Amino acid sequence: MGAPASLEVEVRPPSPFRFGRGSTDRTLRIERGVATRLLTVDCAPVLARAWMKGPGRVAFRAEAVDPGALASHRACEELRPAGEVELGTAIERLRFALGVDEDMGAFHQRFRRDPLLGPIIRRRPDFRPSRRIWPWEALAAAVCGQLIEARRAATIERRIVGRWGTKLGGPGRGVLRDVPSPALIAGRAASELQSMDLSGARSIALRRLALDVVRGRSDVADRADDARLLAVPEIGPWTVQCLALFGRGEADSLPAGDLGYIKLVGHLAGLGRRATVPEVEEFYAPYEPYRGLVGSLTLSGLHRVVAEGPRLRLAPEARIDRAA
């Protein structure tokens, strides 16, 4: 019996749910109510989709992709057709990225009367943090985002995906791409990564991280290996906290050094200036074990405060370092 060409499952989210935005690198697309992602599972290409099937019902479908239909594929030396295991894994990873299985009931119950969170929860009961399909993708995105504005970081991500990502489809908006694997990044020279507008030091760091993953020295899906990541030059708490929140779904992981939090807490706490990293951590401490979730919710719900708030002068003692 041949491998199944597709697999479809239906999910009933335990909490209010709707699709958010696609990923900043444009590999996960959400258009006309359908989430679409090309991904490679153990050298097997899969096209995964999700859509609302009805009230409280989300359909997921994974289809095996003919390796011959792919252009510029470098994910593996030799691709193979996806079987039932790979199709199931693709659906599992898309479910994770969309947060469809997250039960937000306890969180909503605990904070529905909170003066800060209550109004946001009532407006956005379906909120989920924007996760990545694989932990590696979250780590690579965090490295790209160190110490620069989000728009520039997204441009760097898209350049890397466009240069080395597996491609399905023709020219135009219909083309889908996968994120380059650790093995592919490990095989690039630092100068190649730097040509994507990634700084020299961070190009070296990203390649080093990829090499450690390929050689089995680091498992980015396991928080027990975070100390190994932190030993890599240019990799600090902010980067690892982004990996934990967006790549592993750790709701308590707060990237406190993010400029967005530093500006937001400076406003909400009435400091008259940008907050320090310890002040951000102190502000969100009462929300443990949901500090990362609360941080994402407040940044999303109060984004205008960040964008349009007072132009604050950085306190002399404050050190804004998204990589620290």
Q: What is the pLDDT of residues 80-134, one digit of tens each?
A: 999 999 999 999 999 999 999 999 999 999 999 999 999 999 999 999 989 999 9
pLDDT (mean) for 186-204: 97
Q: What pLDDT score was predicted for residue 308?
A: 53
Please name the amino acid found at residue 146.
Q
Q: What is the pLDDT of residues 164-185, one digit of tens each?
A: 999 998 655 579 999 999 999 9
Q: What is the pLDDT of residues 208-260, one digit of tens each?
A: 999 999 999 999 999 999 999 999 999 999 999 999 999 999 999 999 999 99
Residue 127's contacts (CB-CB under 8 Å, 6 or more residues apart) are: 120, 121, 296, 297, 300, 301
Q: What pLDDT score was predicted for residue 322?
A: 43
pLDDT band for position 318 (cuts 50, 70, 90): very low
Q: Are strands 44-54 and 70-71 parallel, antiparallel or unpaired?
A: unpaired
Burial 246-265 (b: 16+ CB within 10 A, else e): bbbbbbbbbbbbbbbbbbbb
Tell me the sheet residues that pair with 70. 168
Residue 2 has pLDDT above 60, yes or no: no
pLDDT band for position 141 (cuts 50, 70, 90): very high
pLDDT (mean) for 4-27: 94
pLDDT (mean) for 279-288: 98
pLDDT (mean) for 299-315: 62
pLDDT band for position 73 (cuts 50, 70, 90): low
Percent of the chain scoring above 90 in pLDDT = 82
